[in-house]
């Protein structure tokens, strides 16, 4: 009796995750087709507007020099770079100053925010940086992002249409050493991208992704300014949601960026990913609950257990093998087919492990409401708001905490 119940749960779960895979494949095909159509059509003759890039910083990070330098190398008519930090002692500013001397023709400025007045220190910094921006078009991008020279043109072009209020990008993970960094990078390229593509397929973009958000200062001001995001953990999600609610389109760009993985140890990686999952749980509760049915390997293992209980090893191994093939196919279809991540093909056999870890992170997201971000403890509340529990007992380590969500 119990064996039959376990088998039914396993098969039902595998059906659900296979339906999800089908949606992922449809969404991936739609994304690629639209990209080809966009590439085939000529860009509008309207001149590209000047742009201000807002780049919040928080300590030294792996590949920081390469990531920041890629923004100095933009093939774009007129742009400025504004780098922000909490204080002048931030070690990331040394990299910025070296690059400023290397590229004297690129207009740049450094803004210091001081101690944050909001729970979300990044939002407080963005508010100060936006006030120093010379242009209405602003591109908000994380410090751990690396781009190609055509990045600005591709993400800004959709804003030439007045009904577009925000542009955001998919990203591929770039590991910086070790198995945990690789697994987290695979999650970025495959799991994250798959979820975004399906959401865009089913209801359109109602949110944004923090590594890139291109918008207008006028749009942000009409929403109440950056200050309205100051109490939220997932400020990117909220900014996209508010933009869509205001009747402006949120566009998923066909430009894919590199997102450098900062966490190399098991502890750092696990804490970061559980924090992200908890943020998703409090930001969109119903959708997050449904996320549990998108994983395949847990149901494959349940099928293996059912086969063992029934004395039918062929059945159990067959169900587990189906789950592994399901995830490997998703890794190739999305990791390579959409975001062009070669590692997703080379390590498609490893992605099932990441899928299982993702399920554990999802389970862990329901355990309590506390998170640690930049060395400070917060309590998450309904809607994604967060409240600081106590001041940090030691300075946050840039090597163990990412710059943003």
Tell me what pLDDT residue 285 has: 85
Task: Please state, as a whole number, how many other Cβ atoms lie within 10 Å of the Cβ of residue 3.
Answer: 15
Tell me the longest C-alpha to C-alpha distance in the chain: 74
Please give the pLDDT value at position 46: 79
CA-CA distance, 75 to 106, in Å (whole number)? 11
Q: Is 169 left (phi over 0), alpha (psi -120 to 50) or beta?
A: beta
179-186 helix and 266-283 helix, angle to the nearest 10 degrees: 20
The per-residue pLDDT for range 327-343, each reduced to its tens digit, is 999 999 999 999 999 99
- Helix extents (H) in 138-296: 151-156, 179-186, 193-203, 217-222, 235-245, 266-283, 285-291
Report yes or no: 256 and 171 within 8 Å, Cβ to Cβ: yes
Give the span between the Cα atoms of 289 and 363, in whole angstroms: 10
Q: Domains in the chain and their CATH numbers? A: 42-263 (3.90.550.10)
Query: Nearest-CA neighbor of 156 among 164, 148, 145?
Result: 164
How much is the pLDDT for 390?
67
**pLDDT at position 34, please?**
86
Q: What dihedral do alpha carbons 189, 195, 197, 199 form, nearest 10°?
A: -160
Q: One digit per residue, pLDDT tens: the chain, 405 residues? A: 898 999 999 999 999 999 999 999 999 999 999 877 665 554 567 789 999 999 999 999 999 999 999 999 999 999 999 999 999 999 999 999 999 999 999 999 999 999 999 999 999 999 999 999 999 999 999 999 999 999 999 999 999 999 999 999 999 999 999 999 999 999 999 999 999 999 999 999 999 999 999 999 999 999 999 999 999 999 999 999 999 999 999 999 999 999 999 988 999 999 999 999 999 999 888 889 999 999 999 999 999 999 999 999 999 999 999 999 999 999 999 999 999 999 999 999 999 999 999 999 999 999 999 988 777 889 999 889 999 876 544 444 433 333 333
Q: What one-character-per-residue DSSP string does 222-244 give?
A: HTT-GGGGTTBS-HHHHHHHHHH
Two structure tokens written together for 325: 């093939």
């Amino acid at each position: 009796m119990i064996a039959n119940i376990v088998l039914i749960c396993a098969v039902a779960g595998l059906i659900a995750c296979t339906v999800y895979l089908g949606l992922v494949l449809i969404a991936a095909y739609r994304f690629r087709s639209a990209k080809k159509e966009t590439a085939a059509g000529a860009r509008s003759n309207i001149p590209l507007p000047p742009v201000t890039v807002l780049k919040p910083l928080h300590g030294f990070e792996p590949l920081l020099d390469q990531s920041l330098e890629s923004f100095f190398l933009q093939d774009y008519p007129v742009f400025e770079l504004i780098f922000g930090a909490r204080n002048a002692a931030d070690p990331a500013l040394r990299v910025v100053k070296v690059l400023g001397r290397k590229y004297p023709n690129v207009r740049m400025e450094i803004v210091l925010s001081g101690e944050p007045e909001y729970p979300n220190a990044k939002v407080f910094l963005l508010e100060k940086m936006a006030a120093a921006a010379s242009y209405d078009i602003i591109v908000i991008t994380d410090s751990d992002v690396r781009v190609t020279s055509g990045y600005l043109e591709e993400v800004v072009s959709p804003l030439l249409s007045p009904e577009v209020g925000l542009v955001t990008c998919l990203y591929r993970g770039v590991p910086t050493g070790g198995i945990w960094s690789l697994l987290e990078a695979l999650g970025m390229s495959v799991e994250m991208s798959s979820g975004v593509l399906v959401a865009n397929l089913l209801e359109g973009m109602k949110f944004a992704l923090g590594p890139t958000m291109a918008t207008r200062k006028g749009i942000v001001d009409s929403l109440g300014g950056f200050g309205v995001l100051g109490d939220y953990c997932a400020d990117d999600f909220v900014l996209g949601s508010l933009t869509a609610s205001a009747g402006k389109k949120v566009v998923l760009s066909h430009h894919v960026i590199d997102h450098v993985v900062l966490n190399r140890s098991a502890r750092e990686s696990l804490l970061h990913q559980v924090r992200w999952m908890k943020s998703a749980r409090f930001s969109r509760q119903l959708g997050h609950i449904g996320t549990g049915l998108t994983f395949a390997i847990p149901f494959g293992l349940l099928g293996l257990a059912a086969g063992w209980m029934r004395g039918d090893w062929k059945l159990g191994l067959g169900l587990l093998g189906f789950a592994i093939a399901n995830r490997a196919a998703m890794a190739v279809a999305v990791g390579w087919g959409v975001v062009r991540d070669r590692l997703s093909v080379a390590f498609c056999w490893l992605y099932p492990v990441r899928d299982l870890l993702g399920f554990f992170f999802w389970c862990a997201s329901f355990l309590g409401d506390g998170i640690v971000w930049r060395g400070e403890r917060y309590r998450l509340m309904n809607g994604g708001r967060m409240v600081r529990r106590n001041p940090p007992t030691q300075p946050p380590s840039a090597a163990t905490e990412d710059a943003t969500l």
